[in-house]
Amino acid sequence: MTLISPACRDALQLWLERLGGLEDASANTLTAYRGDVTAFLAFMTQHSGGPQGLGALSRITTADMRAWMAAERNSSTGARSLARKLSAVKNFYRWLAEREGFEPAAVLLARSPKFQKKLPRPLAPEAARAVLETVELQSQQDWVAARDVAVVTLLYGCGLRISEALGLKGAVAPLPPVLRILGKGRKERVVPVLPAARDAVARYLHLCPHPQEADAPLFRGVRGGALNPRQIQGVMARTRAQLGLPATATPHALRHSFATHLLEAGGDLRAIQELLGHASLSTTQAYTAVDTTHLMEVYNKAHPKA
Protein backbone atom coordinates (compact mmCIF):
# COMPACT_ATOMS: atom_id res chain seq x y z
CA MET A 1 0.00 0.00 0.00
CA THR A 2 1.38 3.41 -0.98
CA LEU A 3 2.17 5.56 2.03
CA ILE A 4 0.91 9.11 2.46
CA SER A 5 3.05 11.50 4.46
CA PRO A 6 1.96 12.16 8.07
CA ALA A 7 1.57 15.87 7.27
CA CYS A 8 -0.85 15.11 4.43
CA ARG A 9 -2.73 12.59 6.52
CA ASP A 10 -3.11 15.12 9.33
CA ALA A 11 -4.21 17.87 6.93
CA LEU A 12 -6.81 15.57 5.40
CA GLN A 13 -8.17 14.70 8.84
CA LEU A 14 -8.41 18.39 9.82
CA TRP A 15 -10.26 19.18 6.61
CA LEU A 16 -12.74 16.35 7.13
CA GLU A 17 -13.33 17.45 10.72
CA ARG A 18 -14.04 20.97 9.47
CA LEU A 19 -16.53 19.65 6.92
CA GLY A 20 -18.26 17.55 9.54
CA GLY A 21 -18.30 20.27 12.19
CA LEU A 22 -18.79 23.62 10.46
CA GLU A 23 -20.50 22.50 7.25
CA ASP A 24 -22.36 19.53 8.74
CA ALA A 25 -21.43 17.18 5.91
CA SER A 26 -23.05 13.76 6.21
CA ALA A 27 -21.11 10.66 7.26
CA ASN A 28 -21.49 9.23 3.73
CA THR A 29 -20.09 12.41 2.19
CA LEU A 30 -17.11 12.40 4.55
CA THR A 31 -16.39 8.74 3.80
CA ALA A 32 -16.51 9.38 0.05
CA TYR A 33 -14.30 12.49 0.34
CA ARG A 34 -11.76 10.64 2.48
CA GLY A 35 -11.49 7.84 -0.08
CA ASP A 36 -11.27 10.17 -3.08
CA VAL A 37 -8.62 12.50 -1.65
CA THR A 38 -6.59 9.65 -0.12
CA ALA A 39 -6.46 7.92 -3.52
CA PHE A 40 -5.38 11.20 -5.15
CA LEU A 41 -2.59 11.72 -2.62
CA ALA A 42 -1.46 8.11 -3.02
CA PHE A 43 -1.28 8.55 -6.80
CA MET A 44 0.82 11.70 -6.42
CA THR A 45 3.18 9.79 -4.12
CA GLN A 46 3.66 7.10 -6.77
CA HIS A 47 3.80 9.64 -9.59
CA SER A 48 6.60 11.62 -7.94
CA GLY A 49 8.47 8.60 -6.64
CA GLY A 50 8.21 9.52 -2.97
CA PRO A 51 5.88 10.68 -0.18
CA GLN A 52 4.27 14.03 -0.86
CA GLY A 53 4.61 16.52 1.97
CA LEU A 54 2.54 19.69 2.07
CA GLY A 55 5.28 21.58 0.26
CA ALA A 56 5.25 19.11 -2.63
CA LEU A 57 1.47 19.29 -2.84
CA SER A 58 1.71 23.05 -3.33
CA ARG A 59 3.88 22.47 -6.41
CA ILE A 60 1.54 20.10 -8.27
CA THR A 61 1.38 21.07 -11.95
CA THR A 62 -1.20 20.89 -14.70
CA ALA A 63 0.73 17.95 -16.14
CA ASP A 64 0.45 16.12 -12.80
CA MET A 65 -3.32 16.67 -12.79
CA ARG A 66 -3.60 15.38 -16.36
CA ALA A 67 -1.58 12.30 -15.41
CA TRP A 68 -3.91 11.57 -12.46
CA MET A 69 -7.05 12.02 -14.54
CA ALA A 70 -5.64 9.83 -17.33
CA ALA A 71 -4.79 7.11 -14.81
CA GLU A 72 -8.33 7.25 -13.43
CA ARG A 73 -9.84 6.91 -16.90
CA ASN A 74 -7.47 4.05 -17.73
CA SER A 75 -8.67 2.24 -14.61
CA SER A 76 -12.24 2.40 -15.99
CA THR A 77 -13.42 5.28 -13.80
CA GLY A 78 -16.46 6.77 -15.53
CA ALA A 79 -16.82 10.46 -16.34
CA ARG A 80 -19.38 10.99 -13.59
CA SER A 81 -17.22 9.31 -10.93
CA LEU A 82 -14.12 11.20 -12.05
CA ALA A 83 -16.02 14.49 -11.86
CA ARG A 84 -17.01 13.62 -8.28
CA LYS A 85 -13.41 12.76 -7.35
CA LEU A 86 -12.09 15.96 -8.92
CA SER A 87 -14.68 17.97 -7.00
CA ALA A 88 -13.47 16.42 -3.72
CA VAL A 89 -9.83 17.13 -4.57
CA LYS A 90 -10.60 20.75 -5.48
CA ASN A 91 -12.56 21.22 -2.28
CA PHE A 92 -9.60 19.91 -0.26
CA TYR A 93 -7.13 22.08 -2.16
CA ARG A 94 -9.11 25.28 -1.67
CA TRP A 95 -8.95 24.71 2.07
CA LEU A 96 -5.30 23.60 2.03
CA ALA A 97 -4.14 26.53 -0.12
CA GLU A 98 -5.81 29.04 2.16
CA ARG A 99 -4.32 27.36 5.23
CA GLU A 100 -0.79 26.99 3.83
CA GLY A 101 -0.71 30.14 1.70
CA PHE A 102 -0.03 28.83 -1.81
CA GLU A 103 -1.66 29.25 -5.21
CA PRO A 104 -3.74 26.15 -6.14
CA ALA A 105 -4.43 27.17 -9.76
CA ALA A 106 -3.14 23.94 -11.33
CA VAL A 107 -5.68 21.92 -9.36
CA LEU A 108 -8.61 24.33 -9.43
CA LEU A 109 -8.32 24.95 -13.20
CA ALA A 110 -8.43 21.23 -14.03
CA ARG A 111 -11.46 20.73 -16.25
CA SER A 112 -14.11 18.33 -15.10
CA PRO A 113 -15.04 15.65 -17.68
CA LYS A 114 -18.36 16.16 -19.39
CA PHE A 115 -21.11 13.66 -18.80
CA GLN A 116 -24.81 13.47 -19.44
CA LYS A 117 -26.75 13.89 -16.25
CA LYS A 118 -29.08 11.01 -15.52
CA LEU A 119 -32.68 12.07 -15.26
CA PRO A 120 -34.73 10.86 -12.29
CA ARG A 121 -36.61 7.63 -12.95
CA PRO A 122 -40.05 8.07 -11.40
CA LEU A 123 -42.71 5.38 -11.21
CA ALA A 124 -45.94 5.78 -13.11
CA PRO A 125 -48.82 6.84 -10.82
CA GLU A 126 -50.48 3.44 -11.05
CA ALA A 127 -47.15 1.71 -10.27
CA ALA A 128 -46.66 3.94 -7.21
CA ARG A 129 -50.13 2.99 -5.97
CA ALA A 130 -49.38 -0.69 -6.58
CA VAL A 131 -46.16 -0.39 -4.54
CA LEU A 132 -48.06 1.09 -1.58
CA GLU A 133 -50.56 -1.76 -1.76
CA THR A 134 -47.95 -4.52 -2.17
CA VAL A 135 -45.32 -3.50 0.39
CA GLU A 136 -47.61 -4.75 3.19
CA LEU A 137 -47.48 -8.28 1.78
CA GLN A 138 -43.71 -8.61 2.21
CA SER A 139 -43.73 -9.34 5.95
CA GLN A 140 -45.50 -11.95 8.06
CA GLN A 141 -45.48 -9.73 11.16
CA ASP A 142 -48.35 -7.28 11.16
CA TRP A 143 -46.45 -4.49 12.90
CA VAL A 144 -43.45 -4.80 10.55
CA ALA A 145 -45.77 -4.71 7.55
CA ALA A 146 -47.48 -1.61 8.96
CA ARG A 147 -44.08 -0.01 9.61
CA ASP A 148 -42.91 -0.58 6.03
CA VAL A 149 -46.16 0.83 4.64
CA ALA A 150 -45.78 3.91 6.86
CA VAL A 151 -42.21 4.57 5.69
CA VAL A 152 -42.99 4.09 2.01
CA THR A 153 -46.08 6.29 2.30
CA LEU A 154 -43.93 9.08 3.75
CA LEU A 155 -41.42 8.75 0.90
CA TYR A 156 -44.08 9.00 -1.78
CA GLY A 157 -46.68 11.12 0.01
CA CYS A 158 -44.27 13.74 1.42
CA GLY A 159 -41.24 13.47 -0.86
CA LEU A 160 -38.91 12.62 2.01
CA ARG A 161 -35.46 11.17 1.57
CA ILE A 162 -35.16 7.77 3.24
CA SER A 163 -32.65 9.23 5.72
CA GLU A 164 -35.16 11.95 6.62
CA ALA A 165 -38.00 9.49 7.18
CA LEU A 166 -35.87 7.17 9.31
CA GLY A 167 -34.42 10.14 11.17
CA LEU A 168 -37.81 11.09 12.62
CA LYS A 169 -38.10 10.79 16.38
CA GLY A 170 -40.98 9.55 18.49
CA ALA A 171 -41.69 13.15 19.56
CA VAL A 172 -43.34 13.88 16.19
CA ALA A 173 -46.10 11.32 16.83
CA PRO A 174 -48.94 11.55 16.29
CA LEU A 175 -47.92 13.17 13.02
CA PRO A 176 -49.17 16.75 12.64
CA PRO A 177 -50.61 18.12 9.38
CA VAL A 178 -47.21 19.73 8.74
CA LEU A 179 -43.71 18.43 9.49
CA ARG A 180 -40.50 20.43 9.84
CA ILE A 181 -37.75 18.42 8.17
CA LEU A 182 -34.02 19.05 8.57
CA GLY A 183 -32.51 17.91 5.28
CA LYS A 184 -29.13 18.07 3.57
CA GLY A 185 -26.85 20.84 4.75
CA ARG A 186 -29.14 21.31 7.76
CA LYS A 187 -31.60 23.05 5.46
CA GLU A 188 -35.02 23.13 7.13
CA ARG A 189 -38.23 22.87 5.16
CA VAL A 190 -41.93 22.55 5.91
CA VAL A 191 -43.69 19.51 4.43
CA PRO A 192 -47.45 18.91 4.42
CA VAL A 193 -48.43 15.44 5.62
CA LEU A 194 -51.27 13.72 3.81
CA PRO A 195 -53.99 12.09 5.92
CA ALA A 196 -53.02 8.75 4.36
CA ALA A 197 -49.48 9.14 5.71
CA ARG A 198 -50.70 10.17 9.14
CA ASP A 199 -53.06 7.18 9.24
CA ALA A 200 -50.31 4.80 8.13
CA VAL A 201 -47.96 6.01 10.88
CA ALA A 202 -50.74 5.85 13.48
CA ARG A 203 -51.51 2.23 12.53
CA TYR A 204 -47.84 1.31 12.77
CA LEU A 205 -47.53 2.89 16.22
CA HIS A 206 -50.67 1.10 17.40
CA LEU A 207 -49.19 -2.27 16.41
CA CYS A 208 -45.53 -1.63 17.30
CA PRO A 209 -44.48 -3.74 20.31
CA HIS A 210 -41.73 -1.31 21.31
CA PRO A 211 -42.56 1.64 23.60
CA GLN A 212 -42.92 5.03 21.98
CA GLU A 213 -40.27 7.39 23.35
CA ALA A 214 -39.80 11.03 22.42
CA ASP A 215 -36.03 10.77 21.89
CA ALA A 216 -36.05 7.31 20.31
CA PRO A 217 -36.40 6.67 16.56
CA LEU A 218 -39.98 6.73 15.34
CA PHE A 219 -39.34 3.70 13.12
CA ARG A 220 -37.87 0.68 14.91
CA GLY A 221 -36.13 -2.44 13.77
CA VAL A 222 -37.33 -5.85 14.92
CA ARG A 223 -35.12 -5.70 18.03
CA GLY A 224 -36.19 -2.17 18.92
CA GLY A 225 -33.21 -0.24 17.55
CA ALA A 226 -33.26 2.30 14.75
CA LEU A 227 -34.59 0.92 11.48
CA ASN A 228 -31.77 0.33 8.98
CA PRO A 229 -32.31 1.81 5.48
CA ARG A 230 -31.30 -1.56 4.01
CA GLN A 231 -34.51 -3.04 5.41
CA ILE A 232 -36.63 -0.64 3.36
CA GLN A 233 -34.40 -1.16 0.33
CA GLY A 234 -34.96 -4.88 0.68
CA VAL A 235 -38.73 -4.46 1.00
CA MET A 236 -38.73 -2.36 -2.17
CA ALA A 237 -36.62 -4.95 -3.98
CA ARG A 238 -39.11 -7.72 -3.13
CA THR A 239 -42.05 -5.49 -4.01
CA ARG A 240 -40.72 -4.51 -7.43
CA ALA A 241 -39.90 -8.17 -8.17
CA GLN A 242 -43.47 -9.12 -7.32
CA LEU A 243 -44.89 -6.32 -9.49
CA GLY A 244 -42.41 -6.75 -12.35
CA LEU A 245 -41.04 -3.21 -11.96
CA PRO A 246 -37.53 -2.22 -13.14
CA ALA A 247 -34.50 -2.05 -10.84
CA THR A 248 -34.86 1.75 -10.81
CA ALA A 249 -37.95 1.36 -8.56
CA THR A 250 -36.01 2.12 -5.37
CA PRO A 251 -37.03 4.00 -2.20
CA HIS A 252 -35.48 7.16 -3.66
CA ALA A 253 -37.54 6.70 -6.83
CA LEU A 254 -40.63 7.31 -4.68
CA ARG A 255 -39.32 10.80 -3.89
CA HIS A 256 -38.77 11.39 -7.61
CA SER A 257 -42.28 10.12 -8.25
CA PHE A 258 -43.69 12.54 -5.67
CA ALA A 259 -42.11 15.49 -7.50
CA THR A 260 -42.90 14.31 -11.02
CA HIS A 261 -46.55 13.55 -10.29
CA LEU A 262 -47.00 16.97 -8.67
CA LEU A 263 -45.46 18.61 -11.73
CA GLU A 264 -47.62 16.59 -14.13
CA ALA A 265 -50.69 17.69 -12.16
CA GLY A 266 -49.77 21.35 -12.63
CA GLY A 267 -47.64 21.93 -9.53
CA ASP A 268 -45.47 25.05 -9.42
CA LEU A 269 -41.75 24.31 -9.87
CA ARG A 270 -40.65 26.64 -7.08
CA ALA A 271 -43.18 25.15 -4.69
CA ILE A 272 -41.88 21.67 -5.54
CA GLN A 273 -38.33 22.95 -4.93
CA GLU A 274 -39.37 23.98 -1.42
CA LEU A 275 -41.13 20.68 -0.75
CA LEU A 276 -38.06 18.69 -1.82
CA GLY A 277 -35.61 20.94 0.02
CA HIS A 278 -33.43 21.59 -3.04
CA ALA A 279 -30.98 24.44 -2.47
CA SER A 280 -31.00 25.29 -6.19
CA LEU A 281 -33.90 25.50 -8.61
CA SER A 282 -31.65 23.94 -11.27
CA THR A 283 -31.77 20.66 -9.32
CA THR A 284 -35.56 20.68 -9.36
CA GLN A 285 -35.60 21.57 -13.07
CA ALA A 286 -34.49 18.03 -13.86
CA TYR A 287 -38.15 17.10 -13.35
CA THR A 288 -39.21 19.39 -16.21
CA ALA A 289 -37.06 17.24 -18.50
CA VAL A 290 -38.77 14.13 -17.15
CA ASP A 291 -42.15 15.69 -17.77
CA THR A 292 -41.15 16.72 -21.31
CA THR A 293 -39.97 13.18 -22.00
CA HIS A 294 -43.35 11.87 -20.85
CA LEU A 295 -45.17 14.37 -23.08
CA MET A 296 -43.07 13.35 -26.10
CA GLU A 297 -43.82 9.68 -25.49
CA VAL A 298 -47.55 10.43 -25.37
CA TYR A 299 -47.25 12.58 -28.51
CA ASN A 300 -45.36 9.93 -30.47
CA LYS A 301 -47.83 7.22 -29.48
CA ALA A 302 -51.04 9.19 -29.93
CA HIS A 303 -50.59 11.71 -32.74
CA PRO A 304 -51.77 10.44 -36.15
CA LYS A 305 -48.77 11.99 -37.90
CA ALA A 306 -46.16 10.95 -35.32
Active site residue 99: no
**Distance from C-alpha of 99 to C-alpha of 217, rounded to nearest angstrom:** 40
Catalytic residue of the set 147, 198, 255, 261: 255
Find the catalytic residue in 90, 94, 252, 294.
Answer: 252
List Cβ neighbours of 21 (8 Å cut-off, separation of 6 or more): none
Would residue 206 show up in a list of annotated catalytic residues for this protein?
A: no
The C-alpha angle with vertex 183 and arms to 179 and 184, in degrees rounded to 5, equals 170
Q: At a CB cut-off of 8 Å and minimum separation 6, what does 119 contact?
A: 286, 289, 290, 293
CA distance 55 to 39: 18
Distance CA 99, CA 47 (A): 24
287 is catalytic: yes
CA-to-CA distance for 125 and 207, rounded, in angstroms? 29
DSSP state of 135: G
| CA 205 to chain centroid | 27
Instruction: Please provide the distance, in angstroms rounded to a whole number, between the alpha carbons at the two ends of the chain.
Output: 59
Exposed / middle / buried, residue 77 (Cβ in 10 Å: 0-12, 13-18, 19+): middle
User: Is 161 known to be catalytic?
Assistant: yes
Catalytic residue among 184, 189, 210, 294: 184
- Is residue 148 a contact partner of residue 139, using CB atoms and an 8 Å limit? yes
Known catalytic membership, residue 230: no
Catalytic residue among 33, 93, 204, 287: 287
Is residue 278 part of the annotated active site? The answer reads yes
Listed in order, strand segments (DSSP E) in 132-185 are 178-182
Q: Which of 85, 147, 161, 198 is catalytic?
A: 161
As annotated, the active-site residues are 161, 184, 252, 255, 278, 287
